[in-house]
A and B are shown apart, each in its own frame.
Chain A
């Protein structure tokens, strides 16, 4: 039997794996200080979701989930483009991409 379409043995593991990847991404966003690493962790969160969608999709034989993954990839690419552009302009103005140097706005 195809290992991906065999429900009992694998889907749970894919679910655990994507939850683990998502949690690693969340922890990275919360605890890392470098903006670039935070950006990578956000990408990790999105890719964990992609994995989850694809495994659900393979499990049920419904292709909607796989199609959605393409949309997520496109959106993630657009997001990274804007994020990196903002990061470049921050680096030009402040000379650092440590998020602790972003402290001009507070009360």
Chain B
């Protein structure tokens, strides 16, 4: 609750700084403010409560995911202060809208009422529509923003229709009374239709196939920093909100819609991994990789009613940190070479061995190779699926992660086996700092997974 208020105040504060012509203070204030909010958020640990007429709730679940969301925003804000260095006159816009994306994310994590859930999703999405289209003179960025806008608001139409049908069946938006209704004796078909429509909208938000068509285009066209932001924050927060939604309805959704979640998981795994094989553009590759990771996370959601959310949290941390580390290197490479294809990485192993080693480790983590966090994330998700008796799901997951290794290795091969071009790769101090921070944390939780898995 407090974190949400402080984050909103921080966003307005950044606009005020712009008005007061203190432009060079915007990035430091944002980074400092987010660090403070991170601390305030941790302080809420073990202090559950519900606020604003049971609209918003705080629990250890929300604190843990909020901490992850704030940390991601902090890392992205550090990268952004570097990325937008040449565009100083617009920096307050970008930074403010990013802060509001975090506000939406916190509402999606803490919602105890479908009204707040809708407002959270929309705050997050509308801010991101604007950010994806934020390179005003670049037709690709415009197109990405507009496609995201059209498909996103189409999906929120379905979300709303679903919420309205749920309301019609139960006369309530409150999650507790919805849960009571769902675990009662009789459930009306109108309620089930509503749930189905909300599930579709959630599948869309986390870009699970076959609701993924926006993702590759938007990820490719948006500015790289926004792609990194979208692919990490939205996916993690979307899955946390999804988990919470499934958890509320106890065993109703597992009984009625388990087949749907399993089907979407399988389709996402294969669509993501197989389409990624053909990609030449790095951002597009990461988009398809994100779709396949949505598939793995959906496997983790299949038994959501029975399990705590630690597997999702662990997977989310591993995925987010590896992706941000990869993007902090990739953004430096894109800036130096002026190209966003995989061939831009050619010969990086000779030109800058440390960067190449770091990018290799993030790719291995995303592919799920042992010492890194990505492996343990998959391990926990698969072991939950096995405990639920979904042996075939684990088999499909393992087969598709073997396909995945091929395209992650394409980047590694480009770095080490392809001849180098002349361009020198320069990476700024901020990007290096973010990269090392991500790698160290991800290695740390890879060595000591119990740090996260024993949280709740």
Contacts and interface: CB of A to CB of B under 8 A. Distances in A.
Interface in B263-297: 278-279, 281, 284
Interface string B309-329: 000000000000000000000
Interface in A41-83: 42, 45-46, 48-49, 52-53, 56, 60, 62, 64-65, 67-68, 71-72, 75, 78-79, 82-83
Contacts of B29: none
Given A89-B142, A105-B221, A107-B278, A49 B161 contact: yes
Interface string A69-106: 00110010011001101110110011000010010111
13 contacts: A29-B150, A35-B150, A52-B164, A52-B168, A56-B168, A64-B115, A71-B115, A79-B126, A83-B149, A90-B143, A93-B138, A106-B217, A107-B216
A42 B161 CA distance: 12
Nearest to A74: B119
B420 to A, nearest CB: 27
Contacts of B281: 107
A46 B168 contact: no
Contact of A83 (B115, B129, B168): B129
A78 B279 contact: no
Contacts of B167: 53, 56, 64-65, 68
Interface of B: 115, 118-119, 122, 126, 129-130, 133, 136-140, 142-147, 149-150, 153-154, 156-157, 160-161, 163-165, 167-168, 171-173, 216-217, 220-221, 278-279, 281, 284
Contact of A72 (B130, B160, B221, B284): B160
A102 B146 contact: yes
B325 to A, nearest CB: 25
Interface of A: 15, 22, 25-26, 29, 35, 38, 42, 45-46, 48-49, 52-53, 56, 60, 62, 64-65, 67-68, 71-72, 75, 78-79, 82-83, 85-87, 89-90, 93-94, 99, 102, 104-107
A85 B140 CA distance: 15
Which are the 10 A-B pairs with shortest beta-carbon distances? Answer: A45-B157, A105-B217, A56-B168, A49-B160, A52-B164, A93-B139, A75-B122, A102-B143, A86-B146, A90-B142
Given A49-B160, A64-B167, A38 B126 contact: no
B221 to A, nearest CB: 5
Nearest to A55: B168
Contacts of A71: 115, 118-119
Given A105-B144, A107-B216, A42 B115 contact: no
Contact of A94 (B136, B139, B165, B221): B139
A64 B173 contact: yes
A75 B172 contact: no
Contacts of A67: 115
Nearest to A87: B146
Contacts of B143: 90, 102, 104-105
Contacts of A79: 122, 126, 129, 149, 153, 156
